[in-house]
Amino acid sequence: MRATIAGVRYFLLGLMLFLPLLGATAWAQAQEGRVQETQAQRQQVQPGNNAPVWRNVRSGTEGYTSVQGRETGVLIQTQGQTWRELRNGPIALYGGWLVMLVLIAIGVFYMWHGPIGLHSPPTGKMVERFSSFERIAHWTMAISFCILAVSGLTMLFGKYVLLPLIGHTLFGWLATLGKNLHNFVGPVFMFSIVVFAAKFIRDNIPRAYDITWLVKGGGVLSGEVVPSGRFNAAEKIWFWGGVIALGTVSSASGLVLDFPNFDQTRALMMLANIVHVIAAIVFIVWSFTHIYLGTVGTTGAYEAMRDGYVDETWAREHAQYWYEDVKAGRRAPPSGTSDTAGATTAPQIQHGGD
């Protein structure tokens, strides 16, 4: 009995939902019929009515034109307005604030916390951290990234920030230089991503101890030394999320914009531009934290990537498991030669501060 009542109820409910749908469909079909009417059909009933033609124009239907080129048969494209509102509106506004706020946050953190130093005194004995190939791969990527970031930020914000300061002539000249650099350095950056990823992917595979590292926040605030592999969990996230993910997204969207000679549509280029700008802003802002931690934020980090060597204390405190493996001979040092050679040929570097 109960089941029957429930069945009837569901039937009625279904009917309630379904019936208006039928009516709506019929109405929509009638409307669609009118909308789909061609100018030829309309002229037979209303000779002076050009509505179907103007509907074609507004919808971006391609007509015939003797002028060859990309979308020359389209009279009005409306996506441009959407792109303009997104780019000049929320993207420029929130992107600009994001860049400013992260820079301010890093500055505040530096004033409050200072650089992450060593807990024990340096031993004076150096251990190889990066081979010359690894450093070339890193700096190729880093320098091309910086050129792209500066020229890219100029494209989006220069009009509001730099132009009022230096005037139209100089800014136009700099922007031309920046745009050409951006177009030609972009492919260099893409190539460096591939080389960099192939070289460093092994040491960036997530491990169980990375979770412990993340939970403890790397010991930055507690002052605790948290062990990690060659790269800590935050560096691994930067590798996967930054270099690999954002690198791929910004590269792919950048290629669409860099080669306009394939007659790709304006809609595709505008979509690519939005994806490119958002990915690039996140990438740039994230890179601020990496650049900070790789230079003034961590004692000895910049020297490691410049010269390739770190103090043994640095290696033990920043990459304990890796250091132990290299010391025990379980893995070769970055150059691939025997582990004792590294220590003897290492240049003697004086670490500033602690």
Residues in touch with another protein (CB under 8 A) = 38-40, 42-43, 47-50, 52-54, 56-57, 61, 63-67, 69, 71-78, 80-81, 83-84, 87-88, 154-156, 158-159, 163, 168-169, 171-172, 175-176, 178-179, 183, 257-262, 266, 269-270, 273
**Helix, strand, or coil here: 45?**
helix
Kindly give the residue spans of alpha helices, DSSP state H, lying in 231-265: 233-237, 247-258
Minimum CB distance to another protein smaller for 169 or for 350: 169
| Min dist. Cβ of residue 100 to another protein (A) | 19
The pair of three-digit structure tokens given for residue 129, joined into one six-digit string:
């951290």
CA atoms within 13 A on the CB side of 207: 17
Return the number of the residue (91 or 246) whose C-beta is nearest another protein: 91
Nearer Cβ to another protein (70/207): 70
Strands (DSSP E) found in 102-201: 126-128
Nearest partner of 149 among 294, 287, 285, 284, judged by Cα: 284
In the complex, the smallest distance separating the C-beta of residue 285 from another protein, rounded to whole angstroms, is 20
Closest separation in Å from C-beta 94 to another protein? 17
Which token pair is 298? 């961590």
Total number of residues shown for the chain: 354
Q: Judged by CB, which is closer to another protein: 54, or 139?
A: 54
Output 156 or 226, the one with its CB closest to another protein. 156
Judged by CB, which is closer to another protein: 88, or 222? 88
Question: How near is the Cβ of 127 to another protein at its closest, in Å?
Answer: 45
Minimum distance of another protein from residue 46's CB (angstroms): 9
Q: Shortest CA distance to 154 belongs to which of 175, 169, 139? A: 175
Q: Cβ 143 to another protein, closest distance in Å?
A: 22
Query: DSSP letter string over 218-285?
Result: GGTTT------SSS-HHHHHIIIIIIIIIHHHHHHHHHHHH-GGG---HHHHHHHHHHHHHHHHHHHH
Burial of 250 (0-12, 13-18, 19+ CB in 10 A): buried
